[in-house]
Amino acid sequence: MIAEFGLAALWLAAALAALQLVAAWLGQRPGGETLALLVRPAAVTQALLCGVAFVMLLWVFARTDLSVLLVAENSHSEKPLIYKIAGAWGNHEGSMLLWVTIMAVAGGLIALIEHRLPEKTMLATLGAQAFVGLGFYAFLLFASNPFARLFPVPAEGQGMNPLLQDIGLAMHPPTLYCGYVGLSIAFSFAVGALLTRNVTPEFAKVMRPWVMGAWMFLTVGITAGSYWAYYELGWGGWWFWDPVENASLMPWLAATALFHSASVLASRDALRTWTVMLGVVAFSMSMIGTFLVRSGILTSVHAFAVDPTRGTFILALLAINIGGALALFAARAGTIAEGERFAALSREGALVINNVALSAVLGIVLLGTLYPLVTEAFSVRVSVGPPYFNPVSAIFVFPMLAVLAVGPLLRWRRDRLERIKGPLIAIGAAGIVVLLAAWLMAGIALLQLLGLALAAVVAVSAFMPLRGRSLKRLPLPVWGMAIAHFGIAVALFGMSVDSAFTVEKLTAADVGQSINVGPWQVRLTAVEPVAGPNWTALSGRLSASYKGGPAHELVPMSRTFWAPPQTTSESALLTRWNGQLYTVIGGGTADGRWQLRLWWKPFVTCIWLGGLLIALGGFLALVGRVAADVRRRVATRKIAVRRAEVATA
Amino acid sequence: MTAAFKPKHQRLVLVILALLAILAAGALAAWALKNQASYFYIPSQIVSNPPDPDRGVRLGGMVKVGSLKTAPDGVTMHFLVDDGKAEVPVTFAGIAPDLFREGSGVVAEGHMMKDGTFVASNLLAKHDENYVPRELQDMTKQQARETVAETTK
């Protein structure tokens, strides 16, 4: 019954989306005012129904109701409850339902709270949101029904990929999806603004918090995904340029460009056309990412099912949504009046460079990701990895970071370099000092060297905009900017130091033997069997001491799951303020030794710390904007009440 | 600076600037892709037409039964990758993936040495029933079925 209830809620939600679309369309016409009144309630109800459907799915997973096909295929009764619930979105159908639910909830929210734009534009926006939503409802209901029943009911489920049985899974996809799908709001606003020819600073102001929120979730999602891959996959790497990672990086790049250009539009009424285009591009990147991941074109832990129908379906959705929006853009771009002008040396000028560089990197990542698919059409199999992505994107990222150091110091409209001579010298000096210091240490490649110098430049410059201002009265968004930019410096520092100074040791050790890796001495004290709820493992006991200090124990494992039967390596990590010791145990050798792989990774944690700082910056900016909006609303309401009082008196 | 940008044509200048940057990125990417993409080989291709030693490639095939030897250090492995027509000696130092064993499929990432051995920096093995490296999916289909029959048991 639960499953049927969920399915019914989903069908109703789809019907409401159709109603929302039709009402928004007809509501624009003369005499359609009554229909237009339906749009907002429809959006809100649709969000509630989707929420109900999603809760029903969680419920069947929590109960391990094996008469539901999806549960039988992906779950198992002997699994911790948290993974049963997380398992609801650890598969194709469930994750698509999560996608649609977030999309409906976001649409419901703008319907509920957004009243700043002209109603006509809002109607078009909500109509666009319903249109995109309908496509995904159709995909769910016709090609990936999460509530399909299974008969006869099997005695036990097939279990879940052990790689996915991790607390990371509970958080990673929902976070990333909030980011992906949150960008659909920017897409709908852009389409709404184009349809009603209403590209104004107000439009940018309304769109900006949504982009910022989605971007923040993407940042957290990418950071968490990177850390998860780092400790779960046991290779000691934190970014693999895997197509699936690129699929999340591309919307992030587009969203980063978008909220920077939206801030130009909001503050200065410039870059109108560009901002609208980025609004379309950002969500297009989310959809392309979904297509790459979900179509089965790529095989990885993320590709749940290889099913050509689904791939074709998503491709069709992609073509309709992106093609439609770009065609609309092409038709209307000429009618958007040119915005305010600015000099090359100005805040706007710096932000233009930021946007162009981000778009270039986006293009590079997109080409690198699609290239293997293209060559495959000609029966040539290639894979594209770090030797392509690292240097080629660095060519654009590094100059962009140099501009990042200067841009926030510049004034809007027009500025002179002499005015900011002092800070510029300080920033440049920091860069040169670090560059020389790093260069004097032997064995650092050019990329790491430049990375370290730029990290110093960006770190010093991040807080320059705060100088001479009262820290108490500084608006939150400015704090957010400083912290996010500082986060970039921290992450870049971590990346550069990790790739320049990591020490690795691979060996087969006897029990009792000591191994030196960097400043650490690691002793294998024992190897013993362990049993978990649904796995057994061989665990190595390691005793590690840093420069002869006290010993810490690490217990890396090699786990064997029995449903489905599979072995995974569980790395063990020891975190110090200045880095991480990363240990992996492999199998035994014929002569009774054990394979050990140890890394000392100095300051590697800075990578994720930086990622979180970037997200925190976004969060502060978001809170600042929302608080300002709330204050404005309260003030308007007070004025309205006052007026009414005056009128009645 | 301002004079260079005739105010009227600012949008045009911006569009050209953006186009130039994107074109430059595209050209750079195309050039780098040609040089940096790592191609997939099967043993008979790599034997008849070996790639440059400095070029990263992927080699896919079956781990020949009886060829897997571990060096005295306990972590370096030597084995032969075979497609029924040719075989390539492979060296790998590291912890092999869990489902890496004789007679099963493997994709090795690395490069060819001048002496004809393949030095792998990473091994991708069949992970479980649901996750097979893409190259291997097709390979078992394309390659002579007897290869699979005689090497997998």
When scoring B134, B139, B140, B143 by the number of chain A Cβ atoms within 10 A, the one with the most, hence best to mutate, is B134
Q: Which of A120-129, A146-155, A202-211 has the lowest mean pLDDT?
A: A146-155
Report the pLDDT value the prediction gives residue A301, as an integer from 0 to 100: 41
**Which residues in chain A touch residue B29, judged by CB atoms under 8 angstroms apart?**
363-364, 367-368, 392
Mean pLDDT of A534-550: 90
Quote the minimal CA–CA distance from A347 to chain B in Å: 14
In A8-78, where do the E strands start and end?
none
Report the pLDDT value the prediction gives residue A342, as an integer from 0 to 100: 87
Report the pLDDT value the prediction gives residue A206, as an integer from 0 to 100: 93
Nearest to A131 by CA among A281, A324, A332, A331: A324
Question: CA-CA distance, B40 to A245, in Å (whole number)?
Answer: 21
Q: What is the tens place of the pLDDT at every residue in A463-476?
A: 998 888 888 888 99
pLDDT band at A305 (very low <50, low <70, confident <90, very high): very low
Mean pLDDT of A109-128: 93
Question: CA-CA distance, A205 to A144, in Å (whole number)?
Answer: 37
Q: What is the tens place of the pLDDT at every residue in A623-636?
A: 999 999 899 999 99
Q: What is the tens place of the pLDDT at every residue in A67-88?
A: 898 888 888 887 788 888 888 8
Tokens of A515: 């191994």
Phi then psi dihedrals of residue A583, to 5 deg: -125, 140
Residue of A nearest to B128 (CA): A566
Report the pLDDT value the prediction gives residue A169, as an integer from 0 to 100: 66
Examine the pLDDT at A297 and tell me if it is beyond 70: no
Q: What is the tens place of the pLDDT at every residue in A385-440?
A: 888 999 999 999 999 999 999 999 999 988 888 888 889 999 999 999 999 998 88
Quote the minimal CA–CA distance from A380 to chain B in Å: 8
Report the pLDDT value the prediction gives residue A303, as an integer from 0 to 100: 45
Average of per-residue pLDDT values in chain A: 89
Nearest to A461 by CA among A447, A481, A437, A476: A481
Contact indicator for A250, A646 with CB cutoff of 8 Å = no
Question: CA-CA distance, A457 to A401, in Å (whole number)?
Answer: 9
Report the pLDDT value the prediction gives residue A188, as an integer from 0 to 100: 96
Question: CA-CA distance, A206 to A566, in Å (whole number)?
Answer: 49
153 residues of chain B, pLDDT tens digit each: 444 455 557 778 888 888 898 899 999 999 998 888 888 888 888 888 888 887 888 888 888 888 998 888 888 999 999 888 889 999 999 888 777 878 778 888 898 988 889 999 888 765 444 445 555 555 554 443 443 333 333
Which of A152-156, A449-453, B32-36, B96-100 holds the top average pLDDT?
A449-453
**Which residues in chain A touch residue B24, judged by CB atoms under 8 angstroms apart?**
360
Mean pLDDT of A451-472: 91
Q: What is the tens place of the pLDDT at every residue in A346-362?
A: 999 999 999 999 999 99
Tokens of A94: 């469930």
Q: What is the tens place of the pLDDT at every residue in A14-42?
A: 999 999 999 999 998 888 888 899 999 99
Which among B1, B128, B137 is the nearest to A343, CB-wise? B1
Would the CB atoms of A161 and B26 count as touching at under 8 Å? no
Report the pLDDT value the prediction gives residue B145, as an integer from 0 to 100: 44
Phi-psi region of A289 (alpha: psi -120 to 50; beta: other; left: phi over 0): alpha
Question: Percent of chain A scored above 90 by pLDDT?
Answer: 62
Would the CB atoms of B132 and A595 count as touching at under 8 Å? no
Report the pLDDT value the prediction gives residue A304, as an integer from 0 to 100: 44
DSSP one-letter string for A453-469: HHHHHHHHHHTGGGTTS
Question: Percent of chain A scored above 70 by pLDDT?
Answer: 96
Of A455 and B122, the structure prediction assigns the larger pLDDT to A455
CA A263: distance to chain centroid?
20
Quote the minimal CA–CA distance from B6 to chain A in Å: 10
Which one-letter DSSP state was computed for residue A156? S
Would the CB atoms of B25 and A396 count as touching at under 8 Å? yes
Of B130 and A255, the structure prediction assigns the larger pLDDT to A255
pTM: 0.91
Nearest to A354 by CA among A274, A291, A235: A274
**Which residues in chain B touch residue A375, judged by CB atoms under 8 angstroms apart?**
37
